[in-house]
Structure formats: C-alpha cells, structure tokens
Structure 1
Amino acid sequence: MKILPLLAALVLAFSGALSAQTILNGSILDGATGDPLIGASVLVKGTTTGTVTDVDGSWTLTVSGLPTILQFSYIGFAPTEVEVVDLEQDLDIRLGDNAVTTDVVEVRGRRIGEKQQQAALTVETLDAIAIKETAAANFYDGLGSLKDVDLTAASLGFKIVNTRGFNSTNPVRSLQIIDGIDNQSPGLNFSLGNFLGASELDVNRVNLVVGASSAFYGPNAFNGVIAIETKDPFLQQGLSAQIKVAERNLVEGGVRWADALQNKEGQDWMAYKLNLFGFRADDWVADNYDPVFDTTLGRDNPGGYDAVNIYGDEQSSTFDYSGIRSRPGLGEITRQGYRELDLVDYDSKNLKAGVAFHFRLNPEKTLESTELLVSSNYSTGTTVFQGDNRFSLRDIQFYQHRLELRNRDKFFLRAYMTHEDAGNSYDPYFTAIRLQDLSKDDVAWASDYASYWQGTVVRKISQLEGWPACFPQNCSLSEQDQQRQTFLAQPDIQDLLDGYHMDAREVARQAGRGAGNSAAYEVGTQRFEQAFDSITSTLASEGGTRFFDRSALYHLHGERKFASIWTPNADSRLEATVGANGRFYTPNSQGTLLLDTMGRNIDTWEVGAYGGGTFHLNNRYKFSASLRADKNQNFDLLFSPAASFVYTPTERTTLRASFSSAIRNPTLNDQYLFYNVGRAILLGNLDGIEGLVTVESVREFANTQDASRLEYFDVDPIRPEKVRTLETGFRTTLFEKLYLDATYYYSFYTDFIGYQIGVDLDFANNLITGGQAYRVSANAQDRVTTQGFSIGSNYYFGNYFSLNGNYSWNKLNTATEDPIIPAFNTPENKYNIGLAGRDIPVLENYLDGFGFNVTYKWVQGFIFEGSPQFTGFVDSYGMLDAQVNFTLDKLNTTIKLGASNLLDNQVYQVYGGPRIGRLAYISATYNWQKR
C-alpha cells in the first residue's frame, strides 16, 4: 500500500524529538479518596506543552525552565493552578470534586477507581493502556475478552459486539456510539462494528455499559451500550503513526496528527486533529460444506444435499421423486449450486478518514471554556456481512458530519447526520439462484435429470444381477418396494448410484448446449463472468441481486447537567440531568430492501426526553432515579424508568442494586422490509399479515390431502418491545491486590420482537397449485425472560504482573408454545483467563518497558438462529491469544508481536460464517507528543 512508505518517512522525520531543559514529575489524586486519576491533564499555562497521567496517576513533563505555572484538570473536578519554582517542590496534586461526571468508569490497570466501584450498572472498559496490551489483533477484537461480551466475526472486516444474549450479526439490541454519535447504518438500523468507527490511534477508551440503558441513551440501548471515546486534540497533541502486517496478507496503517493554535495572549483557542486509517487483507473464507443443520438429506444421499456455504442447492418438493416407483434409485435430488468462494469478493478493504476542529469560545478558561466542535468522518471499503443472507459489501461508503456546542460536565447541544451508499453490494445467495434460473428454471432442470434417469439409468438398474423379480401378481406393491429398497441400499449398489447420479447431474447441467442459454454457467469461464457481472450490477428490484441503499439519518440531541442543586451538608449533594433528542430517518432503497417504491414515503421520525437525579448521602449511599419518554411516529408514547441504590460500607467495597428498563422501536426492516432470500420472502409488518398457513400443517396436508389439517393464522402489526431488568452486584478489593466484580441479573421482555414463518397457499380443486413462504417480523405473545451471572477478577502481584479472569452465564428461560423465534444465539457458559506483565525492567538501557499478555477464551456450543440457511449449531471452542511488546524510547516507538488464535484452532463464531483461524501480526506504533 502507498501508505507504508509515507508512514516510514513520518517515523524517521520525527524520530529525533526535542530534548528539554527541565523535567518535572508528580501525581494527581482524588482529593476526597486519595485515589489516583488516570488521564488527568497537566498543562503549562499559556502553551501547548502538556501531558496526561499514567495508570497510577503519575506524570512526567519536560518544560523549558523555571519558574512556570502548571494547570491541573480532570473531568468532574475543579481545575487548579500551581506555580513551580523549585525542582524539589511537592507536585502530588489533589483535585477537589465540585461536579460529578457521567463517566461511570476510570480503569487504572493496577487499581480500580472509586467511580467504577460505585457505578450502578455493570460496566466494562478498555482504556488506552489496555488497548496497547490486548493480545488480539486490534482493539475492537480485544473487547471480546471482557466480561459479559460476545464478539462475533462474520468476516475479517466486520466484527460485532453484543452483551447478555440475543446475539446477532446485525445487532439491533445494542447501541454503539463514538463521542456520543450513533454509528448505525441509517437504512439497516444496526451498528457497523468498527467498519465505520474510530482509528485505533485515536481511541482513548471504550466503555461497555451492560444491560438495559434506555433511560439516558435512548431506544436502541436495549441490551447495552458500546461507548467509544476519542482523544481530545487540546490535550493529546502530536503525531502518531502505526503500521501492522499479519497473516492473510493483512496490511494496516494509520496516522493521527493533532495540534492547537494560539491567540495573541498565548492561549489555545483552536485545536484540530486529522486521522487516516487503511486496511486490506484476504478475508476468511466461508467454506462449510456440511449439510445445513436439521435438513433431511446428508452427504450419503446420491442425489446431493443442501450444503451451508453452497447456494442454489436447496431441497425442494419439485426435486423429490422418492415416491415414484417407475424411477427406482432416483430419490430426492438437489441442484449443484455455487460455492460462496466463487461468488464473493474476499479482498477485504477499509479506508477511514476523519477531521475535527475544536474552538474554545473563552480561551482564557482553558478546559472550562465552552467549545464548538465541527467534525467529519468518511469510511469506505469492501467486506462480507452476514445478516439474513451473506452479503458481499463492495465499495460501500458512509459519511458522518457533526456540529456540537458543549461545556464539559455542564451541557451539550449536538447535531449530526449519517449518509450511506451501498455502492456495488449484492447478495451472493440470490446470485446463485439467478445464475441457475438464467440457465434453466428448477422445473426444466428436474425434468432433464428425471428424463435421463428414466430413459437410461432405469434400464441399467433393472439389468443388474439380483434386481428383485417379484411382480404384483406374485407379491404386493409394498413387498416389491421393500425388496427394491433393500437391493438399492447395498454398499456396492450405492456406489453405482453415485456414478449414475453424477451422470444425470451433468446431463441436466449441460442439456441443450448450443441451443440458447440452457447450459449451466461454469465458474471460471467468460460466459460465467459475463452473466455474473450482469446479475450483480442489476438492482434486485429489476431482476438482479445488487441492492441500493442511500438512506440517511439526522439527529439532534441536547443535555444539561446540574452538578449540585441541593447540598444538605458537606458530604451530601443532589445532582440532576435533563435532556431531549430527535431523529429523522430518510430510507432510500429503491425497492431492493424496503417497501419504498411507487411513491410510498417511509420517512420516519422519533423524539425522546429524559431526566434524572442522583443523591449522594454522606459519601456512603447513592440513590438514583430517572425517567425517559420516547415517541415514534408509528407507535405509542412509551416510558423507560430506572432506579438504583449503591452502598459503600468501606473504601474498598461497594454493594449495588438496580432496576433498569428499555424500549426498542421496531427497526425500518421490522416495519417496511420486503426482501426475497430464496427460500422465503422477508416481510416487515407495520400493518399486520393475514391468512398464512403454518409450515407443519402444509407438510401434513401434502401427506394426507386432508385440508382440515391446514392451520391458518394472522400476525398482528408489529409493536415496540420492552424489557425490565433487576440487577444486583458487588465490587471489592481484597488485600490491595485482588479486585472482584460480580453481577446477577434477571430480565423480563414483553412484546419481544422475533419472527414467524408461514406460507401463503394457492389452491385449485383442493390441490395446492403454488405457495410462497414468508418470514414475518412479529411480537411474542408470551413473556420472554432471561437471567445471568458474571464474575470478574484481577490479581496483581510482583509489581509488574496481573492474573485476570472472568466467567459469564446467560440463560434463556422461556420454553413455551409461542411460535416466535427468539434467536438467543448466546453460549450459556463462557470464560476468559489471562496473564499479563507491564513495564518489566528488561534491557532498561535500551527499552522503556517490556510487556506481554496471554489470554485464553472458552465458549460453550450453542444454537445460532438466523435465516433458514444459516440456522445451526456452533460447536464449543477455545482460542489462545498472545503478544509481547516493548518500547524503543529514543525512537518513541512501540513494537508489538502477537497472534490471535495462536494455536490455529479453526472455529466458527457464527453458523454460516467462515472458520476463524490464526492471525499472527507485528506492529510498530510511533507516538511523538508535542511539547
């Protein structure tokens, strides 16, 4: 990639950082508890020279000389200034708390902060240091080692994070935000993982709020929130660059540059940052050729079977000749189909670029100044996404723009918009079917196959030695059929049948060669390429398989915080937060995904407002309550209450109990989807569906011809789903070395959104003449409940080492006759265990710290429920990740060598997806901080 020589040149250009005259060091602590503050800022007044504190609250700063004035600040604490006149001066600074931040976590690596201990909900965090130490190939994969987290890889370029069940490759029950901005796809309504996300160089930390969180985050925060916080260009200036190479021809590079401009008084008034990230690799290949889970035909069926990652080979009643006596041995047949490997672009690419400008409206107030933020992000690339089908996303593009006015810990007014363009993306599953139809339809193919069998193969079979000579005048038809089945089941006869079926399949594929387009399209031929290009470049609504999506969303959000509206005594206070937001969707799929054709307007708006307060009593008790109201134009006004109690009996122990709730408005897909996936048409359900027949009763009718066995049903219009969660837990530190965090939850879902499958039948003379299967978005009639328990621990020893582990148990309790398909898709048991070392004194004259991390993950097998093609069992698996890292201080460069899935244990994380193998990598990260 062209970015590589550029990165190398930048590293060399800045490898000789300026030496300084005076080195100062100290620490920043919480004035009330003495707890060290990570990420607190130290700034030389009137300059851009500054730094942030390390994991133990310590800091080191080079200044041009003494005396100098240092400014110390941290979000939620009153800033302070200190004049430094002597190198021996005590610079252990204690910040006083005059406000309460909404950040619920400060992870310190070796110590756990008070605010994390007192958080009412379960929160997991990956901070800048943890990102450096993760053994995974990138920070986003590193989230998979956190407690309560499920990481699903549908491809190298598309990873999905989910918590507490109902996992999906299109996670509509979790919210992902970057600096407060929702990064969901406007048309499909689910988060895009890190495809549209932040560059690793610009990530400050990632907080995962686990569980129902609608009260402050909105309707989509149903099972959890992934909140990514990027670096502030006022506080973290300079040049960062990274290059990474790995197996599968992976090459990845990124650059971040941040700087500030000063006014005539020498005060920073504007800061900006530029980010560029590029990635390419040979993607994991989906090559599962096992029979689709729970289908009747296996590998031993001579007429073929339906393989998971071969498309167009599905079973059909059109192909079932097992009951026809005149064609012995023909049985049930399937078309040959096309492998995904032959239909998908596995050249995975991702390019992300971003720019942000921060303006201080009152520069003299530094961090307390109101700021105006303007930012823009762009992402494009090619990858494989798995939803109801596997999709080849080619040249897909996203644009995101933000305008925000804010004052830290006081208020913000934020407006942003997201636009997407599906580019040349298409559905490979349906492409296979289109290729087959272009050759010949199913009826013609089956006719060619059966005609060859009856005209050629039956004669060969009847001449085989031992073919049953029993005729109806000597025995019954049932006896004759039994004798034939016994004869055909012999191993040597089965081998002959395999050959006969291969001949028949080839005849059916090639019959009519030279007579138009009746012959099959062979992979690798020019004829195939021309047909493939034509199909994938034609919109699905016009007979092809390319989908069109130029949807957009527009969002406005405002919030005001009141740090102390009542202070009955020095150790007690009441704080409050109020806010409101509105969102407007403008879907545009031209009928390829949604029902937005023939002038139908499906633009959709939703609004919400919320408020809440927290009362801190005597530094031991914390009571919180909040309420949110949401209204979608198509649904009723709904409320999401929440309340919590936190008790801190000692400095090291916290007990907590909470009630939280969330609502989830049906997505645009749930309301307006109309998409043919081959076996069925997927339907949104805003208005309700009538007159469907259950699949089971259709089968019974086919066997009995008894119309009374047909079971008809209607599906009510889709409604928002709601969840209420009770949660309790404790956090404690034992012996100053062992940190424990345990949680138990029980969730109640009402109007749970899943889907039902039914058939719309055509009849003539009491016979089925046709039918269309539908999968309809629907609400469960019964209440769905889940429960779970998790525990995490961190044990620190030997000054440099830590032993980390966590265990999670999640259970879907509901077992009823409700026809809804819940798609829990979550292992009941999973755990992670790891050993890490940081800043180990090895070769101290050359290296500024040596570290390592080894992590083992185990996941219990579970049923993954997706589309009919992609529903099946995911086997239990274990994966070992490992890395070592060291810093070349004189070059400001950190080298990291590691591998995810080090033992190359080929595993499926999602049914229908690829096997995930080893990904060994080496990276170099250059970081020059501007002084």
Structure 2
Amino acid sequence: MRLSTLLLTLLCAFFCGSVMGQVVLKGTISDDDNGETLIGASVLAKGTTTGTVTDFDGNWELTVSGLPTILQFSYLGFATKEIEVTSPDQDLNIRLGADDGTTFEEVVVTGRRISEKQQQAALTMETLDAIAIKETPAANFYDGLGSLKDVDLTAASLGFKIVNTRGFNSTNPVRSLQTIDGVDNQSPGLNFSLGNFLGASELDVNRVNLVVGASSAFYGPNAFNGVIAMETKDPFLQQGFSAQLKVAERNLFEGGIRWAEAFKNKDGHDWVAYKINLFGFRADDWVADNFDPVFDTDLAASNPGGYDAVNRYGDEEDSGADFSSVLGLGEIRRAGYKEEDLVDYDSENLKAGLAVHFRLNPAKTLESTELLLASNYSTGTTVYQGDNRFSLKGIQFFQHRIELRNRDNFFLRAYATHEDAGESYDPYFTALQLQEAHKTDAAWRTDYLNYWTTFITPQVEALEGFPDCRNSSIPADQRCSVAEFRQQRRDFYASEEVQSLLPGYHAEARTRAQSGNSSDPDAVDFYEVGTERFQQAFDSISSNLIGQGGTRLFDRSALFHLHGEKQFRGVYKPNENSGLDLTVGANYRLYTPNSQGTILLDTMGRNIDTQEFGIYGGGTMNINNRYRISASLRADKNENFDLLFSPAASIVYTPTATTTLRASFSSAIRNPTLNDQYLNYNVGRAVLLGNIDGIQDLITVESLVDFLNTGDVDTIRRFDVAPIQPEQVRTFELGARTTIGERLYLDATYYYSRYTDFIGFNLGVRASVRPQSPPTGVQAYRVAANATEVVTTQGFSIGSNLYFADYYSLNGNYSWNRLNTETDDPIIPAFNTPEHKFNIGVSGRNVPLSLFGKPVNDFGFSVNYKWVDTFIFEGSPQFTGPIESYGMLDAQLNFTAKNINTTFKIGASNLLDNQVYQVYGGPRIGRLAYASATYNLSKK
C-alpha cells in the first residue's frame, strides 16, 4: 500500500466512529493515616488524557467512555493507587498511604509507585505519561522527552532523534537501551535503536519511563547511561477505536489508527483481547547544508583552491595536494559533492502492529496469568549519522514476541528481531566513488598542476608590474640577486591585484581538471549534478553493494532473545510494616549477523554468530515503612569476553510522608558491538576495523609524516592494539525529593561516575618503507580499541513543579554535567554534553474558558523554553566541531470536543524559528508548526 493511500485511509477512518455510552464515576480521596480528605488529588483514567482533581471536600467526579477501566489516584507525597473499575456502583472512596520513598513521579503497576524490579535497582527516573504526552509542546511524544530533567535530545534528521543522559552523547547511541514492553528495540546489525523511527505509535504509547544513569543490574548489558522504557496500552484495559491526524510545516503529514477489543467467555469474563496499530508519516527532512570549513582544519572558505566543507564530501584533505611551492597555486581540493545532491530527504515511516492477549484464568481479571503474542513491522527512509551520514532507504524491521506473564509475579518472554537494510547506502563513500569514476586523485592533481604551470603562471607573469630585475637586457652588475628576485616575485603574487585574480584562475584550472582530457586513460568528464549522466552513475554506485563497485549496505542480521523473571513477596516478614521481597531472573541472547561482507567480517564462510547470557537477583527490605534497603547483583557472559558482574545497592529513608532521602551505588557494562568486534568497512580514505583478535604492527600517523619529511626510517614507530574488551561504569548517587506545603514539589540528584576500558578507536597505517624512498602500499586503518585511562564524571540536577490557581503548573529543571578527567588519550570517547542546560515552562489543564459566549471543554496549554550551553561535539573527523549555545521555545494549545470525542491541538516546536545545530554535521533545526486531531472512542 502506498503511503498516500494509507494516509487517505486513515483520514476516512478518523471520521467514521460512532459515539458509545459514557459512564459517570464518583468518589472521594482521603489520607489513609488520619482520614482527612485530600484537596487537589488527581484521578486519571489510565491510558487516556481523561482526568480530574478533588475539590475542597475531597470529592471527585469523572466521566469515562466505558467500563472496565483502570483509574489512577495520586497525590504528592503519597503512594499512587490503581483500581480496576468494572461497575458504576463500585465503592470508589479511596485512601492513599504514605509514599514509599522512591524517586519516581508516576505509577507503573497497581498499588506501588514503581515495579519491584525498578525499586531494587534503585534508579532515578523521569516519566512521560498519557497526560504529559497530550500536553507536550513538542511535535511528538518522543521529542517531548527532551524537556525532561537530565535528558539530552539530539536531532540528526527529522526522522532520527537520539535520547541520552549523563554525558558521552553520540549519534549512534550504543550506551543507552531502548525497550518497548520489555523488548529491546535495537537494530541487530547496528546494535542500537534508531530513536522512535522503528518504535511505537503515539496512539499506543501508555507511558515512557526514562531511567537515568548506569542500570545494568536488571536491564542487562548496554543499559550503560540510561534506559528508555516504553509501555504500550493493554487491549483488555484500553479498548475501542483511536485515530490521529497531524499536519505540519515541511509538508509533514502523519496519521495513525488503533483498534482494541476484548471478548468474554460464557461466564462473562474477558478472556481474549487484541489490538491493531497502523501509523504512517512523511515529511521533507531537514537539509544538512553547512558549508563552513570543517572545524580545526587549515584552509578557510576564502582559499581559492578550495577547502573542506562540513556537508560536502570528497573535498577532504589530500597530502599530495599541497603545492605551496608553486606561487598562486597553494593547496587545492577536489570539488566534492553536496550532501543534498546525494541523499534522499523524502523522509517516510510506516509502522504496523498486531497483538493478541489471552487470560488463562479470566475470573482473576488483572491477576490472571496471560499469554501474549505480538508482531510488529516498521519500514521507512531517513538520514542516520554515525561515522558518516547514511541514507537509510527502505530499511525494514520485523519483530515477533511471545510472552507468558503474571503481573508482579513472573514473566517468560521470547522475541526475535530481523532487519533488512533495503536500499540504504553511504553518501560520503558515494561521493568518493563518483570522483574516482571521473579520474583518480593523482590524475586530477596532475591535470590541475599542469594547467596552472602551463597557462596560469605565464598569464600572471605577463601582468604589468611583474618584477624584471633579472631581465637579460639589464646589465649584469645591475641585476638583482636570485634571492631578491624570488622575494619580489612572492610580493607580487601577494599583491591585492593578483590575489583578486586568483579565484578566476583557479576556476579555470578546476574546469580543466574536471574534464576528461588527462594522461589517465580511464578519465572521463566530471559527473555534473542534475545531468542524466550523473544520475546514471549515481544509481549504479548506490545500488551496487560495497565491495562490488558500489556503496549500498547489505544487512539482514537478526537477534533472538529469551528472558525470564520471578518475584517472591514477603519472603521474610517480621511485622506488618516490614518485609523482604526477592527477585531473580536470567536471559539469553543470540546475534546472527549477515552483511555479506559489506560491513562485517562475515565472508568466506566465516561464522560470527555471537551468544551472551546473564543472571541476576536482588532483594528489598522494607523496615517499618521508613527504611528501604535494596541490593542486587548481575553476572553477564558474552562468548567472546570474560564473565562480568554488575552490583547495585541503595538505601532510602522516609523521615516524613512528604520527604525521602536516597543514597545508591549502581553499575553497568557495555559489551563491544558487532562493529567493535567484526567491522571491516572501507570508507575510501581508510578501512574501519573491528578488533576481536587484536591488530599488530601498525605505524603511527605522526611517525609516517616524519618519515615523509625526512626519509629517515628510524622515525617510524610501530604499535599493536590489544583485543577489544567490554567497558564498565560505577556510579554513586545521592537524591532527595520533598513537597513543600501543598503546592511545591522538588527533586534533586547528585552523581559521581567512574568509567574504565572506554571503547574508542586507534588510528594507524600499514606501509612498506625504505630509506629516502616514498612509502608504498599505504593503507590507513581505524581500529576499535579500549582506553587505558580511568575517566570520571559528575553532575547535579534539580527539578520542580509548582501548582497554583487550581489549573496551572510552573515547571522547571536544571542539569549540570562535567567531565572531570582531562586527557589527551584519543581513545576516550567525546563527552558531547553541555555543562549547563535548563528547561522552564508553564502549563494549564482543564482551564475554564469561554469562546463566543460558549464554554470550551477541557482547554489546556503548555509553553516550554529550553536552553543548552555551548559544547564541542566530537564524532568522526568530518563531524567534530562546536555546537553554539541555543534556546528553543515550544508551545501548544489543546481542547477536547467531547461530543465528537476528539482532542484538537495546535502548536510549534522552536516557535521562534531559531535555526540551530544540535549535532555537528547535521542540519539546522528550525520551527515545526503543527496541528493535530486525535479521536478516542472507548468501547464498553
């Protein structure tokens, strides 16, 4: 189905719903300790944006679209409760108990603020729930994560966003883990997730929990700097039809539908439920058109012989192109190709999903064991930035899951992820191939030089004023010396007149060098963008596989995962207010790479399938509802590496019902990715190598340069690179949260992290060298390697919420992150994190508003200002440079038309259109104004 047809189908479906019956629920909320009613406590229909607050007598009233439904009851300083409501006559006089002292702001499971697994891991979390998704001023829920405390959100393109926390940010986020309903959303070949490009549809997202910091103890390897845990809607609890349409600038048009339904058995209990999701998106992507000189390169944009531009590829430095000894010629660069001439900026995304849930004991409803079968498919086109910028064109993902679970008791989960790179290709390598098809670098340089010395030099020296003090017509005793003549000649070339003519002369020489006339018998004319000849060459190169004369990537890798966990409640219970709970679990994973040698070393029948497994366990002791002591330990074994342990421990003290204090220790490991182990990727000017076995006898780049200058082989320095090893981090953390009065909530955290065996890379060369002779067989390599130095970081963050005037909230957060270790070790990965950043915003919910004398239902708004400090973004040499400080203002208005069950929203991210770079080498991100309509029709 074409995407345009899909979106028209969604448009039709959006307006085809029929109104079903609504149910009015009433009750009170009070303090379980003293029975006093709570003013301003929240009531929310889980998985929706339907909610209310209690009045001065603690009473509440809420209209829901149907039963059964789950209601969430919460109040600052108290533990949130969830209640399944099956009848309008059910007793809904709710008593809330004291908070359990965790650092989370939102409920995850019935009766507790967070799951036991998360409690034992003692992690800090930010949450985006259904109401927050509705109220986010960002263009979509995933972008809304960028306004949370401790979060860095980076846009490499419109379709590819990266979320990271606590430093060492990267456009290939291998140090963070993203899950959907507990399923790792990573690409099997790349070993990291592609943001939400292959994630969940917004209509099906129930909440997003963002775990901050090292968290391997329960989440496993790669939960290094954080976890993005998405939870989708349960078809038993959120039934009915939903549809969303959104239009925006950049010709953005997206739509989605969700349908969920449950069936009853002969006893009247729901026993099977299913949900179907379909989402489509298209837009004109942001264009990466930064033509400034690459940061820290020698040539300015004014150099008449050319320079290396950030988003132009093929114009990079060539050691053989320095003709400084030829006056006027200087250093020259090939023309290269702009990224916009090589990349498909028509961003598209299609997601489809089907899930079926079976209750094996329907009479127990939520407490029944369930069997889940789910399958998801994603495909699309976008731009991804890693070592190069890549055009992911027609990439496909298939994910299938089977799970047996009992809430808060156990689960056994198995899933498989398959990917197909489609027609994806490397634009940077494509530019090099196009230029090589025109003529070799050596032939181009020779043609440029010959034209200059044959035609340009005589023109310059025929100009009036050229020094002639060595003219033979001048008596010998009156002629200037050779040294004086050379100086006068240099001064003439440096004159304003000659300098003004040089750009035109270089244009002549470049035109000549671009022609096919050359001593190189294989040379042809330059492939000019926009010509049919260029398009034919481009199509041929980008459609043929790497290693077979092209730049297309082949990747049909897969991963298979099995995970089980069991929780034991009340293992030891000395009294009513104290008790010990335990959790144990294990997982197994198998990677089956298949790149046909285009990316990895899976050639000549070599099997690089990789297995790993892990086991973990932990306990939490609650002592008199004031102290919560947790400890856990995880052991992980990858078949290529030694057994590693990830311990964690914490103590939480609750001195009052509104204040908690916490101290914790956590740890994480990151196994080297398949690329770190098996990469074999020729990018034209270097070969990128994985390093599972170690690399021997490389020459340092610096010593090879010395040899070129001196011809002395004694300057050559050789080195070996030890086999790659996992990297590890240990984090100490202090936290406090409190409610001041009834309106102000504060949450603060300080952390200190210690990293060992950072994974980066070494640069080296292999060549044959002989005294006083040019080196032969020169090949540059970039080899995955571990740093030898220990690195430490620290940071502090604080967030606050001030509720006022019944309907409004003032929100703010500030984060400080610092890399303590100063080192020149080139292996240390870039910190890539601003030292200071903050968000401040104001929002209103259910604000009473009249328009033309008529009340507007459920009117809400939010405004958020985000500021990010200047920092250096370090990626590949082409994509390393400064990100200037910037501020972005997001805003939105929303209201609900209850008679048609539709919420309308208009807004804009980067409202003031402040054109900013969020990643060096990426595009400038400007305003994205949007309008959306979301239709929700719950089913009884």
Per-residue CA deviation, residues 743-771 of structure 1 (Å, 9 max, x unaligned), is: 11111111111112222233234433242
One-letter code aligned to 2:681: Y
Cross-structure match for 1:754: 760
* Inter-partner Cα distance in structure 1 for 2:567 and 2:629: 17
* Inter-partner Cα distance in structure 1 for 2:381 and 2:916: 23
Are the structure 2 counterparts of residues 85 and 789 from structure 1 closer, same or farther at C-alpha, using a change threshold of 3 Å? closer
Whether 1:9 and 2:12 are equivalent positions in the alignment is yes
Cross-structure match for 1:25: 26
**Cα offset, 1:266, TM superposition:** 1.1
SS in 2 for 1:923: strand
* Inter-partner Cα distance in structure 2 for 1:30 and 1:480: 97
One-letter code aligned to 1:705: G
SS in 1 for 2:363: helix
Whether 1:182 and 2:191 are equivalent positions in the alignment is no
Give the one of 227, 241, 244 matched to 1:242: 244
Moved more, 183-192 or 755-764: 755-764
Are the structure 2 counterparts of residues 321 and 278 from structure 1 closer, same or farther at C-alpha, using a change threshold of 3 Å? same
* Inter-partner Cα distance in structure 2 for 1:892 and 1:714: 67
Cross-structure match for 1:47: none
- Residue pairs, 1:136-147, within 5 angstroms: 136-147=138-149
Gaps in structure 1 of 5+ consecutive residues? 43-49
* Inter-partner Cα distance in structure 1 for 2:549 and 2:261: 52
**Cα offset, 1:447, TM superposition:** 1.0
* Inter-partner Cα distance in structure 2 for 1:292 and 1:83: 63
Asked if the contact 1:175/1:182 (under 8 Å) is kept, the reply is yes
Are the structure 2 counterparts of residues 85 and 626 from structure 1 closer, same or farther at C-alpha, using a change threshold of 3 Å? closer
Cross-structure match for 1:648: 654
Whether 1:483 and 2:483 are equivalent positions in the alignment is no
Per-residue CA deviation, residues 36-72 of structure 1 (Å, 9 max, x unaligned), is: 6766779xxxxxxx998667796635699xxx99998
SS in 2 for 1:279: strand
Cross-structure match for 2:892: 883
One-letter code aligned to 2:930: Y
- Cα RMSD over matched residues? 3.0
One-letter code aligned to 1:729: G
Give the one of 917, 921, 926 matched to 2:926: 917
Asked if the contact 2:103/2:125 (under 8 Å) is kept, the reply is no
- Residue pairs, 1:385-404, within 5 angstroms: 385-404=384-403
Cross-structure match for 1:820: 827
One-letter code aligned to 2:370: E
Cross-structure match for 1:499: 504
* Inter-partner Cα distance in structure 1 for 2:344 and 2:13: 33
One-letter code aligned to 1:185: S
Are the structure 2 counterparts of residues 258 and 81 from structure 1 closer, same or farther at C-alpha, using a change threshold of 3 Å? closer
**Cα offset, 1:478, TM superposition:** 5.8
Asked if the contact 1:52/1:59 (under 8 Å) is kept, the reply is no
SS in 2 for 1:768: coil
SS in 1 for 2:856: coil
Per-residue CA deviation, residues 566-611 of structure 1 (Å, 9 max, x unaligned), is: 1111111111110000000000001111111111110000000000
- Residue pairs, 1:238-277, within 5 angstroms: 238-277=240-279
Cross-structure match for 1:832: 839
Are the structure 2 counterparts of residues 644 and 30 from structure 1 closer, same or farther at C-alpha, using a change threshold of 3 Å? farther
Cross-structure match for 1:802: 809
Are the structure 2 counterparts of residues 82 and 579 from structure 1 closer, same or farther at C-alpha, using a change threshold of 3 Å? closer
Asked if the contact 1:77/1:100 (under 8 Å) is kept, the reply is no
Cross-structure match for 2:170: 168
- Residue pairs, 1:475-874, within 5 angstroms: 480-512=485-517, 518-770=524-776, 771-843=778-850, 845-874=854-883
Asked if the contact 1:100/1:409 (under 8 Å) is kept, the reply is no
Moved more, 676-685 or 556-565: 676-685
Moved more, 819-828 or 512-521: 512-521
Per-residue CA deviation, residues 807-861 of structure 1 (Å, 9 max, x unaligned), is: 1111111112433142211111111111111110113855321111111111112
Cross-structure match for 2:373: 374
Cross-structure match for 2:383: 384
Cross-structure match for 1:289: 291
Give the one of 307, 317, 320 matched to 2:319: 317
One-letter code aligned to 2:504: G
Asked if the contact 1:511/1:518 (under 8 Å) is kept, the reply is yes
Per-residue CA deviation, residues 667-709 of structure 1 (Å, 9 max, x unaligned), is: 1010011112233221111111122222233333333334333
* Inter-partner Cα distance in structure 2 for 1:80 and 1:835: 30
Asked if the contact 2:410/2:566 (under 8 Å) is kept, the reply is yes
* Inter-partner Cα distance in structure 2 for 1:478 and 1:915: 51
* Inter-partner Cα distance in structure 2 for 1:71 and 1:187: 39
* Inter-partner Cα distance in structure 2 for 1:93 and 1:818: 59
One-letter code aligned to 2:503: D
Asked if the contact 1:846/1:888 (under 8 Å) is kept, the reply is no
Cross-structure match for 2:410: 411
* Inter-partner Cα distance in structure 2 for 1:838 and 1:286: 38
Whether 1:901 and 2:910 are equivalent positions in the alignment is yes
One-letter code aligned to 2:767: L
* Inter-partner Cα distance in structure 1 for 2:417 and 2:497: 63
Per-residue CA deviation, residues 254-304 of structure 1 (Å, 9 max, x unaligned), is: 001111011111110001100000000000000000011111111111100
Give the one of 205, 208, 211 matched to 2:207: 205
* Inter-partner Cα distance in structure 1 for 2:536 and 2:886: 41
Moved more, 775-784 or 33-42: 33-42
Cross-structure match for 1:106: 106
SS in 1 for 2:730: strand
SS in 1 for 2:809: strand
Cross-structure match for 1:429: 428
**Cα offset, 1:24, TM superposition:** 2.8
Asked if the contact 2:25/2:88 (under 8 Å) is kept, the reply is no
Cross-structure match for 1:92: 93
SS in 1 for 2:547: helix
Whether 1:298 and 2:274 are equivalent positions in the alignment is no
Cross-structure match for 1:351: 350
Whether 1:193 and 2:199 are equivalent positions in the alignment is no
* Inter-partner Cα distance in structure 2 for 1:31 and 1:118: 25
Are the structure 2 counterparts of residues 275 and 871 from structure 1 closer, same or farther at C-alpha, using a change threshold of 3 Å? same
One-letter code aligned to 1:699: V
Are the structure 2 counterparts of residues 749 and 479 from structure 1 closer, same or farther at C-alpha, using a change threshold of 3 Å? farther
SS in 2 for 1:13: coil
**Cα offset, 1:80, TM superposition:** 7.6
Cross-structure match for 1:151: 153
Whether 1:219 and 2:226 are equivalent positions in the alignment is no
Q: Between the two proteins, what is the percent identity of the paired residues?
A: 67
Cross-structure match for 1:927: 936
* Count of residue pairs the alignment pairs up: 910
**Cα offset, 1:2, TM superposition:** 2.6
SS in 2 for 1:287: coil
One-letter code aligned to 1:206: V
- TM-score by length of structure 2 reads 0.92
**Cα offset, 1:77, TM superposition:** 9.8
One-letter code aligned to 1:835: V
One-letter code aligned to 2:555: D
Moved more, 265-274 or 751-760: 751-760
Are the structure 2 counterparts of residues 81 and 871 from structure 1 closer, same or farther at C-alpha, using a change threshold of 3 Å? closer
Are the structure 2 counterparts of residues 354 and 27 from structure 1 closer, same or farther at C-alpha, using a change threshold of 3 Å? farther
Are the structure 2 counterparts of residues 79 and 741 from structure 1 closer, same or farther at C-alpha, using a change threshold of 3 Å? closer
Are the structure 2 counterparts of residues 117 and 738 from structure 1 closer, same or farther at C-alpha, using a change threshold of 3 Å? farther
* Inter-partner Cα distance in structure 2 for 1:509 and 1:82: 75
**Cα offset, 1:871, TM superposition:** 1.2
**Cα offset, 1:470, TM superposition:** 5.3
* Inter-partner Cα distance in structure 2 for 1:662 and 1:423: 34
